[in-house]
Structure formats: structure tokens, C-alpha cells
Structure 1
Amino acid sequence: MTAMFKTVDSIVLFVADIEAAARWYAALLSADVEYENAFYAFVRGPGVTLGFHPADNKCPGGVGGTTVYWTVDDLPASIARLQTLGARLYRGPMVTSFGAQAAMLLDPFGCSIGLNQLAPGEAR
């Protein structure tokens, strides 16, 4: 039997201002903002598409939902860069039980961004 899931296609963030959120992530990822329609903007990032949809009663967005963790080479430098762009530290930095370093920040739109620096010798 083949696996049902192949790869992660997209991550959708529910935000109050899709234009501002899409521009912020586009600048972060050195990418362009694209639009499917007036209610969905997206940015193509490394290995995934980040989508931006207006927050509503069913999906209010914010930190209470799912957090996507991005692998980074230098956790302190990545935290510092995100902070200069308006994100704020929410959790961590900390060392996980596996020896990795992790932190969670909130972007200017209230969505969470997870960062993970692999433990020494760990490869993925």
C-alpha cells in the first residue's frame, strides 16, 4: 500500500490583513506575493507554499492553532532577524529532550513561527 500523504503542499495562516501578512512573509522569504483571488494570497517558500486567508469565526487564527517549525542553522541569529522584522519571542529558546534548540515567535499578525536548530550530529 502506498502512503496517502506525499508532501506538505501548503500552510494556510488565517489573519486579519492578508495583504500585510503576505508582504511580510514575502520579504522574509525573498519571494513574490501571488493571488488566487481577493480572499487568498500566497508566497512560495522553501519546499512549501504559505497561504493567507481572512480570519473568521471558524478559523480565527493566532497562536492557539498549529505551529509550523522551520529548521534553521543558527537559532539566535534567526530569532534576532525575525525580531528586527517585528516578530516577538513567545516561548524559549530552550533545549528539547532530543538536544535540539527550539523557540516560538509571534509574527506581527499574531500567528506563531516555530524555529528548530537540530542537535549536534542530527541530520534530517
Structure 2
Amino acid sequence: MIRGFATLNFYAADLEAAKAWYTELLGLEPYYQVPGGYIEWRVGDYQHELGIIDSRYAPAGATERPGGAIMHWHVDDIEAAFERLLAMGAKEYEPITKRGEGFVTASVLDPFGNVLGIMYNQHYLDVLGK
């Protein structure tokens, strides 16, 4: 039934600020945009989609604080990625934490209140290598 990660969506009240912040973080321009409503990038080895939706379109009952699941993006150097995110104005949500051999996670709150998880994941590298 579940085939794989397709699109991760975040919300931002200031869509243009979110576009600028994520464009700097990712080092690439969005590939798709709906003016005033939605921005999307294709990211990483498998071109996963990261979308930012204007918070005016958030589902009814959405909270103003982080909650739910955390999506972790693989990074090759978790310490450098974490420091870069903090230097760009993100706030620590969860510190760098070793979860087991070859698995280290951390997460931040982006300037728009979304939880952005990062992870060094040996399994990701093993699958990519095949």
C-alpha cells in the first residue's frame, strides 16, 4: 500500500520569507510555484518534494505549535547541518542524539514554526549504494 515518500508539506504565514529561507538552505530555486499559495522544491538523491503552503490554507484545527510526526532528511554530516540550520535562525527542537550504530538524529524549528528533522542514516546510504 505505501510505496515511498512523495511530498512533505510545511506551512508558513510569510510565503516569500519561507521561499528565501529554504532556497538558501537547499541551495536551489523552487521548481514549481503557485503565487501566493504554494512553493515546491525537488530535493536530494531521489528528488523528494518539499512544499511550503501559505498558512491561510492550513487544515481547520491546525495548531500554532509543532506536533505529530517528524520527517528526517538524511545528511552526510549531521553536526555541520545542525550548526548551519542554527546559524540560519532555526531553533533547536531536539539535540543531536545517537539512536544506534549508524543512526543519529536532530531536529529544529524553522523560522516559520515547522519541525525539520535531519538524520545520519546508514541504511539510507546502503540502499542508495545498491
The two structures share one fold, judged by TM-score above 0.5? yes
Instruction: Give distance in 2, aligned partners of 1:25 and 1:65.
Output: 22
The answer to which of 68-77 and 55-64 deviates more is 55-64
Aligned to 2:25: 28
How far the C-alpha of 1:6 sits from its partner, in A, is 3.4
Matched, 1:66 2:69: yes
- Residues 103, 115 of structure 1: 8 Å contact kept: yes
Distance 1:58 1:51, change over 3 A: farther
Distance 1:104 1:45, change over 3 A: same
Aligned to 1:15: 12
Q: CA RMSD in A?
A: 2.3
Distance 1:23 1:70, change over 3 A: same
Which segments of 5 or more consecutive residues in structure 2 lack a partner in the other structure? none
- Identity among equivalent positions (%) equals 28
What is the SS of the residue equivalent to 2:9?
A: strand
Aligned to 2:43: 45
Distance 1:61 1:44, change over 3 A: farther
How many residues are aligned here? Answer: 120
Structure that is richer in helix per residue: 2
Instruction: Give distance in 2, aligned partners of 1:39 and 1:19.
Output: 10
Q: Match for 1:106: what amino acid?
A: L
Q: Which runs of 4+ in 1 moved over 4 A?
A: none
Instruction: Give distance in 2, aligned partners of 1:76 and 1:42.
Output: 26
Normalising by structure 2, we get a TM-score of 0.77
Normalising by structure 1, we get a TM-score of 0.80
Question: In the alignment, which of 100, 113, 117 is matched to residue 120 of structure 2?
Answer: 117
Which segments of 5 or more consecutive residues in structure 1 lack a partner in the other structure? none
Instruction: Give distance in 1, aligned partners of 2:39 and 2:14.
Output: 10
How far the C-alpha of 1:64 sits from its partner, in A, is 1.3
